[in-house]
Structure formats: structure tokens, C-alpha cells
């Protein structure tokens, strides 16, 4: 089977930084309360920048990092598309000048980037494409109830992207194995109840288009599912936690990431985290964390990584990756 390698990475953030002190002026909260429960000190919220705008900027940075101006496929993971219809990915591809390539969205909430990696890997390994731009992009600030401190303090906006290319089997620095899972019976743990066909076809249905989450249940379920998925993908890869150089989890909550590391009997010093500065950016969180690690010099070619995420649906997924030698620029700050 054809191998798959990562050849470029990029990211983008709206330039409107929102500190915990800023939120304390909007709701009953404090910097101490937010940091103590989440580990987050700040996040970026868009004013006029859409998910598509962030995806284009991140995609362009990833293409520059890979030193290429074309790909065969664009896969965009997002829960906050520019429009309910059509998908945002075709417009992103067009704005990047990629021509009439295949382009579509993937909706798996915070697991979206891992799901998008799996889709792109399947296309490349199966010979349906030779290269792919995989993007995670979100503007969660557009769906938050800004008076709900249980959710509004957690989420931020941003986009991260990688370029994947087909390679000979056994090529060093490859995307190794992926594990995916879901449980639709838990869909109400993380959701936006209104705005879809269910609400329009069921009298009395919840019509709210604001994001809602059952925090305690999400915490427990996320830790369990991420740990189980991580163990599964490590087995498929023939790796143990001792073989890992870094663990890059979805940047949901510092306590969740620490608990997952503990379940895996992994040293917490292996966790890569940037949620303190950008918050939970959902599908964008893993690529943005990877980008920060690259541009800070933390990641080196040949490092063995575990990626793992949990999101609404509920969905979860993990991947193993041998990091390549890539050069990248820090996340682009988009005027908003």
C-alpha cells in the first residue's frame, strides 16, 4: 500500500485576542476560575473573519511550507462552515487557486482533523490522489452563548493545515495508523440543537443555534475514549508509550490531557499544549499545536507522535505519525 507523508504545515488566527480579564468584564468569571478549570489564559475571537477566510490563510501557509502550489484534494474539517450549504472547502480551494480539485467538508467536531487525516490518507493510499491539503478551521465565537461561562471561556477561533503526499511504502516520516470511533447515543453531550432538518420537522424541538455542552460528562467520556483509541492505534503501530516522543491531544482542557497521559502511563512532559494561548479551537487545535511545536523548535525530524481527539457526535480518533523535516512560519494573524 502507498505510504503517506506530511510535507507542509501552516496556521492562521484572527488578530482579536480575548484575555480572561476581558471575559471577566462580560460574565461572572475570573482569570483564576478559568485557568484553574481549563488551563486557558486567552483565545482569539473573530469580528469579521469567517471560517473560510482562516482556512484559506492556513492553507496558503501550509502550501508554502510544502513548497508547492497545487494539490489533488482539499479536505476541510469544521463545525462552523461559512454556509449550511454548500460546503466551505470548494470555495477555499478556489480562493487558493487550486483549480477544479476534489474538495469537501468533514464534520466530526473536535475530532474533525483526525477524521480528515483518515479520509485523505485513504485517498492517497488507494491511489485516488497523490497529494492533499487537510485543514481544520473554526470560528466557534459565532455559535457561543457569550453569557454561558461553562462554554464561552473555553473556545477560540483559528485554522491549521497540513499537506500530505503519497510516498513509497516504508518511507521515513510517515502518517502511520489511524483509529476512529463514534457513539451517536451520546450526541447531546456536545451539540447545537437547532438549525437543521430535525428542528424543522419536529414541532417543539429545541431551536437554539447556540453551542451547548454537558461539561462533566464530556470530561469523563473524553478521557476514556481518547485513552482507549490511543491504546488501539499504538497496538496497530507496534509502538508503546515509551516509544513516543510527544503526545498531541485535542486542546480541550489541560486536565483532560493530563488525565489521558496518566491513563496511558505516559510522562506528562510529553504533552504538547498551546491551549493556554489559543483556547479550544476544535478541529483546528491539533494542527495549531503541531505548528507551535515546529516553529518553537520543539519538534524534530524523526520524532514519534501520537495524535488523539474527542468531539461531539460523539466521535473520537487517534493517529501515529513520524514527524518529517519541515520548515514553517508561525500562525498568520488575520485582521478582523
Catalytic positions, written as ranges: 110, 250, 280
- Kindly compute the dihedral angle of the four CA atoms of residues 108, 181, 178, 130, in this order, to the nearest 10 degrees: -50
* Cα 64 to Cα 151: distance, rounded to the nearest angstrom: 35
- Kindly compute the dihedral angle of the four CA atoms of residues 169, 171, 177, 178, in this order, to the nearest 10 degrees: -100
* Cα 310 to Cα 289: distance, rounded to the nearest angstrom: 15
- Kindly compute the dihedral angle of the four CA atoms of residues 206, 212, 214, 215, in this order, to the nearest 10 degrees: -170
Provide the CA 208 distance to its chain's centre, in angstroms.
25
The per-residue DSSP string of 271-327 comes to B---HHHH-B-GGGHHHHHHHHHHHTT---TT-EEEEEEEETTTEEEEEEEE-----
Sheet holding 332-334, edge to edge: 102-106, 73-77, 131-139, 157-167, 3-14, 332-334
* Cα 324 to Cα 45: distance, rounded to the nearest angstrom: 31
The Cβ of residue 24 has, within 10 Å, a number of other Cβ atoms equal to 17
C-alpha pair distances (Å), 332 with each of 13, 61, 131, 285: 6, 8, 23, 15
For the chain, report the end-to-end CA distance as a whole number of angstroms.
44
Instruction: Give the up-direction half-sphere exposure of residue 1: CA atoms within 13 A in the CB hemisphere.
Output: 12
Amino acid at each position: 500500500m502507498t505510504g503517506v507523508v506530511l510535507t507542509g504545515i501552516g496556521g492562521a488566527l484572527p488578530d482579536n485576542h480575548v484575555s480572561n480579564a476581558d471575559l471577566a468584564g462580560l460574565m461572572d468569571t475570573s482569570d483564576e476560575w478559568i485557568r484553574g478549570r481549563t488551563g486557558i489564559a486567552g483565545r482569539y475571537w473573530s469580528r469579521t473573519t469567517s471560517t473560510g477566510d482562516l482556512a484559506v490563510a492556513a492553507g496558503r501557509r501550509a502550501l508554502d511550507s510544502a513548497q508547492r502550489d497545487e494539490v489533488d484534494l482539499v479536505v476541510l474539517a469544521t463545525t462552523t462552515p461559512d454556509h449550511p450549504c454548500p460546503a466551505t472547502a470548494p470555495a477555499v480551494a478556489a480562493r487558493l487557486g487550486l483549480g477544479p480539485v476534489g474538495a469537501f467538508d468533514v464534520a466530526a467536531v473536535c475530532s474533525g482533523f483526525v477524521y480528515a487525516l483518515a479520509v485523505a490518507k485513504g485517498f492517497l493510499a488507494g491511489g485516488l490522489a497523490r497529494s492533499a491539503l487537510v485543514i481544520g478551521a473554526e470560528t466557534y465565537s459565532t455559535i457561543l452563548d457569550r453569557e454561558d461561562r461553562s462554554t464561552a471561556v473555553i473556545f477560540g477561533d483559528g485554522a491549521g493545515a497540513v499537506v500530505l503526499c503519497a510516498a513509497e511504502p516504508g518511507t521515513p516520516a510517515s502518517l502511520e495508523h489511524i483509529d476512529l470511533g463514534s457513539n451517536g447515543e451520546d450526541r447531546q453531550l456536545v451539540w447545537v440543537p437547532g438549525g437543521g432538518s430535525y428542528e424543522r420537522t419536529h414541532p417543539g424541538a429545541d431551536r437554539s443555534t447556540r453551542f451547548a455542552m454537558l461539561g462533566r460528562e464530556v470530561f469523563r467520556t473524553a478521557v476514556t475514549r481518547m485513552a482507549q483509541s490511543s491504546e488501539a492505534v499504538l497496538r496497530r503501530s507496534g509502538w508503546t508509550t515509551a516509544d513516543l516522543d510527544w503526545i498531541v491531544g485535542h486542546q480541550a482542557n489541560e486536565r483532560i490531557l493530563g488525565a489521558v497521559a496518566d491513563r496511558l502511563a505516559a510522562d506528562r512532559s510529553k504533552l504538547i499544549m498551546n491551549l493556554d494561548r489559543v483556547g479550544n479551537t476544535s478541529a483546528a487545535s491539533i494542527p495549531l499545536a503541531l505548528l507551535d511545536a515546529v516553529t518553537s523548535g520543539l519538534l524534530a525530524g524523526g520524532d514519534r507522535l501520537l495524535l488523539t481527539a474527542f468531539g461531539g457526535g460523539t466521535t473520537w480518533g487517534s493517529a501515529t505519525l513520524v514527524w518529517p523535516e519541515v520548515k514553517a512560519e508561525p500562525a498568520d494573524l488575520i485582521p478582523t
